[in-house]
Amino acid sequence: MKRITVKAERCAGCRQCEMVCSFHHTKKFSPETSRVTVIKDDRLGLDYPLMCRQCSECLPLKACPTQAINREGGSITVDWQACIGCGACVEECRHEAMKLHDGKALICDLCGGEPECVARCPTGALSYAEAPEFSETPWDAFNRMKEEWGIHG
Amino acid sequence: MARIHGYTGKALRVDLTDQAYETERITEAEMRGYLGGRGFNAKRLYDEVGAGVDPLGPGNKLIFGTGPLVGTMFPTASRFNVSAKSPHTGILGDSNAGGHFAPEMKFAGYDQMILEGRSPSPVYVYVKDDRVEFRDASAIKGRTVFEADGFIKSELGDRRVQTVICGPAAEKGVRYGGLFANQVRAASRTGMGTVMASKNVKALAVRGTGHVEVAEPEEFERMVLELEQEIRGHEQYPGRMLMGTTRILMMANDAGFLPTRNYTSGVYEDAGMVSGERLAEEYNVKNRGCFACTIPCSRVYSVREGPHKGLHGEGPEYEALGSFTSRIGNNDLELALKAIDLCNQLGLDILTVAGCVGWAMELYEAGELTVKDTGGLELTWGNGKALLTLIRRIADREGFGDVLADGSVEAAERLGRGMERTIQVKGMDLIMADPRGLKGFGLGYAVASRGGDHLRSEPFLELSDDPEIGERMFGIPESTLRLADRGKGRLVSYFEDWNAVIDSLEPCKNIMQNMMLLPFERAAEALEVATGLRVTPEEMREAGARIVTLERMYGVREGVSRVDDSLPPRFRESPLGEGASGGTVVDLDLMLDEYYAERGWDAATGHPTPGTLQRLGLGFAVKDLP
């Protein structure tokens, strides 16, 4: 299955993905409408972009009380007509990939198969290809890099 | 009238004394005339903080400004200026930093934020969109920049809050305390942290949930994609990604203008031990970038063994690296990293610390300062242990540290000796490039509106040593020869105007200016597609000249004139002995004459003429001419 994967070692935390994503979807710039969100730890100098990973078992999809969340053509979709903005999906997603904006749920739609964040990432931290499911959290990644690089505190 | 995009069109005015706040409109005339960030701040400061105001009194104002390109995907548009009357120099205070603070201002709805008055109790100011809270900061009073940042984010329960923080040094009244965004993005020149601390404010925290819209989305995107491609294809791209600005250290050493042992030499024999190359090879682990950056050139380093094992952080940049190595004769790279980290935590301006320590070491080596003066510290060249102790004592204003805590000029005055060895202009300790090897830089230091500093002009084209560029761009072949004095008035005024534009639109100068990517023509185009405001390249340059001249008038109103546009005596009288910049001195008078003529300023006084002020739309300042 094709999915966006993250090389945390490469993420420079510039958040250009957030700008590109919001612009692609709304023609405006706002982290609030971006479907990717970069987690940053300025003390450690580590960064991690959070977004949908196309989990085989999508907990938000299961949790949605109005069946507004579906899987279509390789990506998770939200039917905004059906979405009531309850936030159950945001609670359930293990990867913090869902958010609410103006009372509607947002999630990565892979830009219809050519994700702009991947194309525009300045360091190649993101790629979109056939890849196995991965469960690494930002905190797992941060611990791995801390260990590898001797960065603590 | 069509809506103006890019800008938020709003300034937030925060009254600390009464814990009140209001918003004000920013007009189209202000946008056209002053562009943004630095320009907006210069105008605000000129209008609201006049002669006679005590920089550390409640009458001073701390102003944060950003530009119309920020908060979008425009490459490197991430920066803010912070301005106030400087407690370090008594004239215009202004500093600029990147990171993620500036876009957050825009998302919260502001082009500018003004802190005025003085809080009755220690607070940090929290701005969430259109709401302002004055939050108790007694728990973080006196705490380091890193600790305060952690506390604020955790207390607010929001990891996306962006902060600008002053450190314990500023709270102790050290006159060159800086402000720090994302912990290590330093707006540290001219004592803006000290101004914040004097207002009983520890930090400004901002969180915005709004958006930024541009006037012509398709054209804007086209320009952004073009710029991204040009950046990635640029010859400087690999070096900057690998080393950031630390790449300059070896370049400066090879060209013989690397300030060594308080500018007594331009060549450091151990440069290779403290180079950007060595840092990259042995210590760097990953890159980091400011907001929306195509060329994230900041680096995270880690020291994995030895006496500084466990030390890690972001950076350093060239100015800091050179400051604690060649400038003080220290060849221990890890010790320099430790000193830089310490300054960041304590909230000190590294260039000024190094200016003071380098000055004291020169005096000590000359026998003009003894352990009796220094509280037992042996200030021999390269004494790293003494450096670390002295940094702590400066931050605490303790013993000899207290003597150095107001800058090198005040220290020389207090001791009654060593003034001729201070390396400063208008009280601001200089940066890391010896003007005997870069004459245009020397002129730039002498006339910079915030005192001795290169970032007002940074006429890097003279490094090309290519007379054809000088002939083509300025009609004077020598203007782009680094050791020539002629033509530098025209070179520097051009670069000053250009930098004022960049500092006001607020992308990164390293990229947009040093890599020649945003000349006046393209800056005008960028402004138009982002905001809808149409300006010609000529008008763009004129806005730069207006900002520079108004900043000059800020100094003039405080008493600045031609005699203050000076350089330390060694640059004018004593040639460097060794290296590729040896044998020449700076002919400052010749360059100043040219410069004032270019600017339309009076050659005898260095004051802008009434005619020049009128021509630039600064007629309101004529009354302030002496």
List of chain B residues whose C-beta atoms are within 8 Å of the C-beta of residue A123: 287, 289, 296
Instruction: Confirm if B28 and B75 have CB atoms less than 8 A apart.
Output: no
Q: Is the pLDDT of residue B77 over 90?
A: yes
Instruction: Confirm if A90 and A98 have CB atoms less than 8 A apart.
Output: yes
Average pLDDT over residues A89-117: 96
> Pairing between strand B179-181 and B312-314?
unpaired
How far A80 CA lies from chain B's nearest CA (Å)? 21
Tell me what pLDDT residue B545 has: 98
Average pLDDT over residues B292-305: 97
Q: Which residue has the tokens 């005596």?
A: B569
A43 closest CB neighbour out of B146, B212, B288: B146
The C-alpha atoms of residue A33 and residue A116 are separated, in whole angstroms, by 15
Q: Which residue has the tokens 């390396």?
A: B423
Q: What tens digit of pLDDT does each residue of B552-583 get?
A: 999 999 999 999 999 999 999 999 999 999 99
List of chain A residues whose C-beta atoms are within 8 Å of the C-beta of residue B285: 145, 149, 151
3-state percent breakdown (helix, strand, coil) of chain B, nearest 5: 45, 15, 40
Residue B585's alpha-carbon distances to A79, B455, B483, B577, in angstroms, are 72, 22, 9, 11
How far A49 CA lies from chain B's nearest CA (Å)? 13
CA of B163: which chain A residue's CA is closest?
A: A42
How far B534 CA lies from chain A's nearest CA (Å)? 21
> Pairing between strand B10-15 and B112-116?
parallel
**B1 class by beta-carbon count within 10 Å (0-12 exposed, 13-18 middle, 19+ buried):** exposed
Q: Which residue has the tokens 């109103």?
A: B557
Q: Do A43 and B160 touch (CB under 8 A)?
A: no
Instruction: Confirm if B78 and B100 have CB atoms less than 8 A apart.
Output: yes
> In this prediction, what percent of chain B has a pLDDT beyond 90?
99
List of chain A residues whose C-beta atoms are within 8 Å of the C-beta of residue B221: 23
Residue B426 has which token pair? 């208008």
Instruction: Confirm if A92 and A52 have CB atoms less than 8 A apart.
Output: no
Q: What tens digit of pLDDT does each residue of B342-383 get?
A: 999 999 999 999 999 999 999 999 999 999 999 999 999 999
Element spanning B511, H or E: helix B509-512
The C-alpha atoms of residue B596 and residue B579 are separated, in whole angstroms, by 32
Domains assigned to chain A: 2-149 (3.30.70.20)
Reported as a pLDDT band with limits 50, 70 and 90, residue B251 is very high
Q: How would you label A36-73 residue by residue, b for 16+ Cβ within 10 Å and e otherwise?
A: bbbbbebbbbbbbbbbbbbbeebbbbebbeeebbeeee
Reported as a pLDDT band with limits 50, 70 and 90, residue B142 is very high
Q: Do B313 and A15 touch (CB under 8 A)?
A: no
> In this prediction, what percent of chain B has a pLDDT beyond 70?
100
3-state percent breakdown (helix, strand, coil) of chain A, nearest 5: 30, 25, 45
Q: Is the pLDDT of residue B2 over 80?
A: no
Q: Do A120 and B211 touch (CB under 8 A)?
A: no
Tell me what pLDDT residue A1 has: 87
For B527, phi and psi rounded to 5 degrees? -60, -40
* More reliable by pLDDT, A97 or A135: A97
Q: What tens digit of pLDDT does each residue of B422-444 get?
A: 999 999 999 999 999 999 999 99
Length in residues, chain A: 153
Instruction: Confirm if B479 and B488 have CB atoms less than 8 A apart.
Output: yes
Average pLDDT over residues B39-63: 98
- What one-character-per-residue DSSP string does B581-614 give? TTT----HHHHHHHHHHHHTB-TTT-PBPHHHHH
Residue B522 has which token pair? 């393209």
Q: Do A44 and B100 touch (CB under 8 A)?
A: no
Tell me what pLDDT residue A73 has: 84
Q: Do A16 and B290 touch (CB under 8 A)?
A: no
Please tell me whether residue B114 adopts helix, strand or coil conformation: strand
Reported as a pLDDT band with limits 50, 70 and 90, residue A152 is confident
| Chain-centroid distance, C-alpha B352 | 12
* A131 vs B: CB within 8 A: no
Q: Is the pLDDT of residue B310 over 60?
A: yes
So where are chain B's domains?
A: 10-207, 219-422, 432-624
The C-alpha atoms of residue B89 and residue B25 are separated, in whole angstroms, by 31
List of chain B residues whose C-beta atoms are within 8 Å of the C-beta of residue A15: 100, 291-292
Residue B259's alpha-carbon distances to B264, B335, B518, in angstroms, are 8, 18, 30
Q: Do B312 and A40 touch (CB under 8 A)?
A: no
Assigned CATH for B219-422: 1.10.569.10
The C-alpha atoms of residue B4 and residue B31 are separated, in whole angstroms, by 10
* A44 vs B: CB within 8 A: yes
Average per-residue pLDDT in chain B?
98
Reported as a pLDDT band with limits 50, 70 and 90, residue A153 is low
B73 closest CB neighbour out of A23, A45, A149: A23
Please tell me whether residue B231 adopts helix, strand or coil conformation: helix
Q: Do B228 and A29 touch (CB under 8 A)?
A: no
Tell me what pLDDT residue B14 has: 99
The C-alpha atoms of residue B561 and residue B607 are separated, in whole angstroms, by 6
Reported as a pLDDT band with limits 50, 70 and 90, residue A74 is confident
B289 closest CB neighbour out of A14, A39, A46: A14
List of chain A residues whose C-beta atoms are within 8 Å of the C-beta of residue B312: 44-45, 149-152
Average pLDDT over residues A89-93: 97
Of A11, A4, A29, A9, nearest to A19 (Cα)? A29
Q: Do B310 and A29 touch (CB under 8 A)?
A: no
List of chain A residues whose C-beta atoms are within 8 Å of the C-beta of residue B291: 14-15
Tell me what pLDDT residue B415 has: 97
Please tell me whether residue B133 adopts helix, strand or coil conformation: strand
Q: Do A19 and B72 touch (CB under 8 A)?
A: yes
Average pLDDT over residues A19-35: 98
CATH class of the domain whose range is B432-624: mainly alpha
Average pLDDT over residues B534-560: 98
A29 closest CB neighbour out of B71, B100, B300: B71
CA of B109: which chain A residue's CA is closest?
A: A30
Instruction: Confirm if B78 and B105 have CB atoms less than 8 A apart.
Output: no
B217 closest CB neighbour out of A10, A14, A27: A27
* A151 vs B: CB within 8 A: yes
Q: Do A19 and B292 touch (CB under 8 A)?
A: yes
Report the sign of the C-alpha dihedral through residues B41, B42, B48, B52, in that order: positive
Please tell me whether residue B379 adopts helix, strand or coil conformation: coil
pTM exceeding 0.90: yes
Average pLDDT over residues B202-224: 98
Q: Is the pLDDT of residue B178 over 90?
A: yes
Q: Is the pLDDT of residue B1 over 80?
A: no
* Protein fold of B10-207: Aldehyde Ferredoxin Oxidoreductase;  A, domain 1 (3.60.9)
Q: Is the peptide bond before B316 cis (omega within 30 degrees of 0)?
A: yes
* A100 vs B: CB within 8 A: no
Q: Is the pLDDT of residue B518 over 90?
A: yes
Average pLDDT over residues B265-271: 98
Q: Is the pLDDT of residue B58 over 70?
A: yes
The C-alpha atoms of residue B153 and residue B3 are separated, in whole angstroms, by 35
How many CB atoms sit inside 10 A of residue B276's CB? 25
Chain B residues with CB under 8 Å of a chain A CB are 71-73, 100, 107, 146, 149-150, 159-160, 182-184, 209-214, 217, 221, 228, 232, 285-296, 298, 300, 302-304, 309-310, 312-314
CA of A152: which chain B residue's CA is closest?
A: B310
- What one-character-per-residue DSSP string does A98-129 give? -EEETTEEE---GGGGS-HHHHH-TT--EEEE
